[in-house]
Amino acid sequence: MQVQNSNLLAPNPPYKAVNLGNWLVVEGWMEQPSLFDGIVNKDLLDGNQVQLMSTKFHTFLAAEDGGGAAIVANRTSASGWETFKLWRVNDSSFNFRVFNKKFVGLNNQGGGNTIVAFSDSPSNQDTFQIIRNNDDPFKIRIKASNGLFLQVESQTSVRASYQGTSWDENDPSVFRMNVINKLDGEYQLTNGYGLAKAPQVLRDHWNSYITEDDFIFMSQNGLNAVRIPVGWWIAQDPNPPKPFVGGSLAALDNAFTWAQNHGMKVIVDLHAVEGSQNGNSHSGTRDGYIEWGDSYIPQTVSVIDFLAKRFGNHPNLGGIELMNEPQGVNLDSLKKYYKAGYDAWLQQCSP
């Protein structure tokens, strides 16, 4: 590797820059072979949407009224109420989130074992095991926390009360699972691998996906800046909240060193904010719901404050982007945040 003069002056705007996507914030669509290939049941990650059809009745499970009521099996076609978002607990256990954000669970009051969608947050009674057929992975049975399988007793009665083991199409506990939408962001990757494997997977990725050789190539071919997306969890590195893992801050530090070595600027882009500003995989969302709003402003400003403290006076900082693609949030909340974020920047970086 040829190292250029470390005293090179970084340019002033305008910049001719490239976006270093999928480095410090995972965007699964950008890479082949995929980082996700080593995950067991990689098609059943957080936020993936599934529809479940009874093979006996040829009807779909549905959250009556979109949630807050019983789970039924009386729809011959599937749409919003018949679609469930997965929250992954481990390789084979999941929570099912319905249209109005309630969670499917076991209502065993009176020993009824009926399946309902009442919970605002999942507990053990809202956790189910998906058991896939060895010959057909989209033919499944669902085991509830009571150890029994879900069965469709009638179009209006779905209960966790079945003990059989048959995979026959006429068995009331057998379902056909359609996976209709997938997310492939940082949350899906880290929670998919789990804390035992995710740190090494990402460490290997950070160390190889972008290197100093790339900065040499860029600087020698007319580029004078890079935009680097980061996630909100970088401010809590090296011990971010689960399932995120530490290490991206060290990689960003390396980028500033390489930029300084080769006369380039770094634009730090807060690409993923807690609560998600757009529901896209690269916003760090668990399941695609847009939750960011006024209540998240203080936390998001604290990330800007952290970045400004660490990099604000670095000669190779080109700027900090306060939020990437916030098309899903309230404009008044966004204006409030932009002012608070800018004030945090000024407080740290004013002469």
End-to-end CA distance of the chain: 37
H or E element in which residue 302 lies: helix 297-311
What is the structure's pLDDT at 32?
77
Among 3-7, 102-106, 248-252, 288-292, the minimum mean pLDDT is found in 3-7
What was the pLDDT predicted at 350?
Answer: 67
Q: In whole angstroms, how large is the CA radius of gyration of the chain?
A: 24
pLDDT of 10 over the 60 cut: yes
* Tokens describing residue 202: 């990402």
Region 270-292 average pLDDT: 98
pLDDT reported for residue 105: 97
Least confident of 4-8, 48-52, 156-160: 4-8
**Per-residue pLDDT, 218:** 98
Cα–Cα dist 142/130, whole Å: 5
Average pLDDT over residues 51-66: 98
Residue 201 DSSP symbol: H
Q: Is 97 exposed, middle or buried (0-12, 13-18, 19+ CB in 10 A)?
A: buried
CB 87 within 8 A of CB 122: yes
Beta strands in 163-262 (DSSP E): 175-181, 225-231
Residue type, 160: A
Other CB atoms within 10 Å distance of the CB of residue 57: 16
Q: What DSSP assignment string belongs to 45-106?
A: -TT-EEEEEETTT--EEEEGGGSSSBEEEEESS-SSTT-EEEEESSSSEEEEE-TTS-EEEE
Model-wide pTM > 0.85: yes
What digits encode the pLDDT tens for the residues 104-140?
Answer: 999 966 566 999 999 999 999 999 999 999 999 999 9
At residue 345, the pLDDT reads 93
Are 242 and 195 spatial neighbours (Cβ–Cβ below 8 Å)? yes
Taking only the tens place, the pLDDT of each residue in 250-264 is 999 999 999 999 999
Taking 80 as the threshold, does the pLDDT of residue 304 lie above it?
Answer: yes
Is 178 exposed, middle or buried, given 0-12, 13-18 or 19+ CB atoms closer than 10 A? middle
Residue 98 and residue 103: Cα distance in Å, rounded?
A: 6
At 31, the pLDDT band (50, 70, 90 cuts) reads confident
Peptide bond into 243 cis (omega under 30): yes
- Predicted pLDDT at 36: 97
List domains and CATH numbers for the chain.
17-38+185-349 (3.20.20.80), 49-181 (2.80.10.50)
pLDDT at 129: 99
Output b/e per residue, 239-275; b: 16+ Cβ within 10 A: ebeebbbbbbbebbebbbebbbbbbbbbbbbbbbbbb
Query: What percentage of the chain carries pLDDT values higher than 70?
Result: 95
Task: Please give the mean pLDDT across all residues of the chain.
Answer: 95
